[in-house]
A and B are shown apart, each in its own frame.
Chain A
Amino acid sequence: AQSVTQLGSHVSVSEGALVLLRCNYSSSVPPYLFWYVQYPNQGLQLLLKYTSAATLVKGINGFEAEFKKSETSFHLTKPSAHMSDAAEYFCAVSGSTAGNQFYFGTGTSLTVIP
């Protein structure tokens, strides 16, 4: 089975500072990778996804993530944090075989300090 590890259940950054949320996956074959964001009392919103077309993926709200196969990582970054970025972020992976289940990390809560 695949798994996803998100390092750091809570991350705090100052407004305007770099946001870095870490995600590592375990997969024997190149997977599809995703980042989702969840605001309080809402569902998960797709931020970005890796589909093997390019290793650097740009998403909504200025976020991007880089797929590094050698490190089995898919870290999420944003150059300058905004107060509205405060939310829960989930990394997810699905296998390349049809019917594979999605696997989610445990989430990282991002706090932005004014």
Chain B
Amino acid sequence: KAGVTQTPRYLIKTRGQQVTLSCSPISGHRSVSWYQQTPGQGLQFLFEYFSETQRNKGNFPGRFSGRQFSNSRSEMNVSTLELGDSALYLCASRVRTSETDTQYFGPGTRLTVL
């Protein structure tokens, strides 16, 4: 199976702009989570979507939003970008069975805000 794909891999934006990142999970996986990773704050959970519904949400301002489509692909949007939004944004595809619960990560999107 193909792994988790994220597009684009790199983005440069300026303050005040908005950005949309895309994530395609592993085929058959219905859950997608998003994380922000920065050197200062580490790995921080943004939100999780399951079957087009937001299931869990981290502690981020409303400028950060997401959605999931019927094919399980997910997008996250950041509006009114700030310098502090520069980070690696990671998407994870999640599968749960009777025996385990596992997340598989994509390569990430590196966002730089100037």
Contact = CB atoms under 8 A, between A and B. Distances in A.
Interface of A: 32, 34, 36, 41-46, 49, 51-53, 90, 92, 94, 96, 98-104, 106-107
16 contacts: A32-B100, A34-B103, A41-B88, A43-B4, A43-B90, A44-B90, A45-B105, A46-B103, A46-B105, A90-B43, A96-B101, A101-B56, A102-B33, A102-B103, A104-B42, A104-B43
Interface string B69-113: 000000000000000000010101010100111111111101000
A41 B50 contact: no
Interface residues of B, number: 26
A103 B42 CA distance: 12
A42 B56 contact: no
Main secondary structure of the interface of B (DSSP, over half): strand
A32 B96 CA distance: 11
B15 interface: no
Contacts, number: 58
Contacts of B6: 43
B106 A98 contact: no
B110 A44 contact: no
Contacts of A102: 33, 45, 92, 94, 103
A44 B107 CA distance: 8
A100 B94 CA distance: 11
